[in-house]
Amino acid sequence: MLARQGFATAALDAKLLAGHVLGLDALALAVREGEAASPEAVERLAQVMRRRMAGEPVARIIGEKEFYGLAFGLNAATLEPRPDSELLVDLALDVLPEGGYLLDLGTGTGCLPIALLANRPDARGVASDLSAEALDMARANAGRHGLAGRLDFVQGDWFDALAGAPRFDLIVSNPPYIASGVIETLAPDVQDFDPRLALDGGVDGLMPYRIIAHQAQRFLKPGGWVLVEIGYDQGEAVQALFAAHDFVDIGLHRDMVGLDRVVSAHHMDNNPGGI
């Protein structure tokens, strides 16, 4: 049914949805594929198939998405974690010092700090978001992965809720970076199901980067790093914003398909040498 409607990932979508409805993983689906499903299960599958054929993403239907080898719950206030963002985690793990303290701005599901802390048991962090609903989901995900004791949560607009906080070794963010006027041209699964608050980066898509570049040094230890995810065509502009605020060792990093994806910037580094 999905293939006839032109879904490029029809086979994978069908497998994931069937597994979700039947409560079976991929191996169990393969082993038990000859068994008849109950009429109730068939009806549940028909319901989720109708949602998928209406354009709702599979992860939204299932209610979770894998990122960096971990499962993350979703809700209406969070973006789906995407594989492109795993590059930011890789780079962050390279620069986070032993016993490091990190901040994630606009945390959403909490996928960035949770992936980092899951791979660095010596580290701790803070996750902030403007949305209380997103923070609820991030807290649940942190608890799910045993990190509630090492990750604190604050609600506020960018740095507003962090006055008086200790300085951080690392600040990461996957901020909204779509220009306001472009959002209506995005694919329906993005327009209709992703939260606009997590997409809209202002008139030119750069508003969050201006805020981060302007304020980050007040919250970073000397020698600390900022890593931000960017849109594929924003590398030059975002690098210039950090340069204008006296960051050094500013780097531009490409994702798995060769697109500009992350900008890194160093605060008052005494031993230059970018990543």
Residues 157-189 pLDDT 10s? 999 989 888 999 999 999 998 888 888 887 877
Q: Which tokens in the block code for residue 242? A: 């950090």
Where are the chain's structural domains? 10-54, 64-266
Q: Which amino acid is at 67?
A: F
Task: Return the pLDDT at 185.
Answer: 83
Measured in degrees and rounded to the nearest 5, phi and psi for residue 122 equal -85, -10
Per CATH, domain 64-266 is 3.40.1170.20: no
Cα distances from 232 to residues 207, 213, 257, 262, in angstroms, run 16, 19, 11, 9
pLDDT band at 271 (very low <50, low <70, confident <90, very high): very low
Cα distances from 5 to residues 53, 62, 67, in angstroms, run 8, 20, 28
Q: How many whole angstroms separate alpha carbon 102 and alpha carbon 54?
A: 40
Which ranges constitute the DSSP H helices of 125-234? 132-144, 188-191, 207-215
Whole-structure pTM value: 0.90
Q: Which tokens in the block code for residue 246? A: 């006296």
Q: How many whole angstroms separate alpha carbon 100 and alpha carbon 126?
A: 11
Task: Return the pLDDT at 97.
Answer: 96
Whether the per-residue pLDDT at 133 is higher than 90: the answer is yes
Q: How many whole angstroms separate alpha carbon 125 and alpha carbon 170?
A: 9
Task: Return the pLDDT at 269.
Answer: 56
Which ranges constitute the DSSP H helices of the chain? 10-22, 26-31, 39-53, 58-62, 86-95, 111-119, 132-144, 188-191, 207-215, 235-244
* Residue carrying structure tokens 């990122």: 67
Whether the per-residue pLDDT at 36 is higher than 80: the answer is yes
Long-range contacts from 63-67, C-beta under 8 angstroms, 24+ separation: 65/109, 67/109, 67/111, 67/115
Q: How many whole angstroms separate alpha carbon 146 and alpha carbon 204?
A: 39
Whether the per-residue pLDDT at 264 is higher than 60: the answer is yes
Cα distances from 134 to residues 75, 153, 262, in angstroms, run 7, 11, 23
Q: Which tokens in the block code for residue 191? A: 């327009």
Task: Return the pLDDT at 275.
Answer: 56
Q: Which of 40-49, 137-146, 161-170, 186-195 has the highest mean pLDDT?
A: 137-146
Q: Which tokens in the block code for residue 262? A: 């992350």
Question: Per-residue pLDDT tens for 236-250?
Answer: 999 999 999 999 999
Q: Which amino acid is at 83?
A: P
Task: Return the pLDDT at 183.
Answer: 82
Q: Are 49 and 17 in contact (CB under 8 A)?
A: yes
